[in-house]
Amino acid sequence: MRVESLWRYPVKSMQGEACDELTVVASGVAGDRGFGVLNLATGTVISAKRDGRLLAASASLRDGELFVRLPDGPELGPGDVLDASLTNWLGQPVSLVDASSHGVATFQGQEDFEEDDSSSEEWEGTNGSFVDESPLHLLTTADLELLSSERPDLQWNVRRFRPNVVVDASAGALDQVESGQRIQIGEVEIAIWKGCTRCVMTTRAQPDGLARQLDVLRHVIKSHDNVVGLRARVVRTGAVHVDDPVSLI
């Protein structure tokens, strides 16, 4: 097994970036979900689980500096101009906030993934990061290949699942791992926590031709008990590169 691709999402729920290398620290990927869009009226950090428009924006890190691009707009760094642009775009007072100083965030999602107007449910994230619950998220090429073979009429693009690490693995190579199983990825050692349950994010429309497809999540629920991919914790920090070997310990 080897690393097929690496992903980082500097602003929660915005488009992220494919990377050749990631630095993994105790809390996860350095720079991953390090910023979020705070709803100043509710005090919640906006998630595309509630407001799918965020997926139309993109964020990247260059030399440690954050750049955000809203639909059809210029790249902007953090500050008053970006906050004003976000507020105008979303139609509500918002501000970009840094997870390292914000503390534990509260997020909202829709209770019924098929109904955008359904009631909201709330949950708390983790301290120092705007990830939903676990530091790392793994997906395999076998996961995507299986789903595509089962429902070739749907768009099984990796961006629907928002992983950090995609492993090029033969069919079943990581299917039987249990909680606590340790995996070596480049310099990094991780411990599997649990399977990754999926949500409305997988169904959202995204730029570059990804359509809204509710059948994506309907199929995952029906055929895979709503689990695709793995959530993990960091045991040993370090660097991970595309093509690094991946092995069970």
Q: Give the CATH number, domain containing residue 82.
A: 2.40.33.20
Q: Residue 131, Cα to own-chain centre: how many angstroms?
A: 8
The C-alpha atoms of residue 216 and residue 231 are separated, in whole angstroms, by 20
Global pTM reads: 0.94
- Other CB atoms within 10 Å distance of the CB of residue 123: 13
* Residue 95 confidence (pLDDT) above 90: yes
Q: What mean pLDDT do residues 63-90 have? A: 96
- Other CB atoms within 10 Å distance of the CB of residue 91: 8
- The pLDDT score that the predictor gives to residue 188 is 98
Number of domains in the chain: 1
Give how far Cα 135 sits from Cα of 24, 29, 212, Å: 9, 7, 27
* Residue 185 confidence (pLDDT) above 70: yes
Please provide the size of the chain in residues.
249
Domain that holds residue 101: 2-248
- The pLDDT score that the predictor gives to residue 171 is 66
Q: What would the pLDDT profile of 190-209 be if each residue is shown by its tens digit?
A: 999 999 999 999 999 999 99
Q: What mean pLDDT do residues 110-134 have? A: 91
Helix, strand, coil percentages in the chain from 3-state DSSP, rounded to 5: 20, 40, 40
- Calculate what percentage of the chain has a pLDDT beyond 90: 92
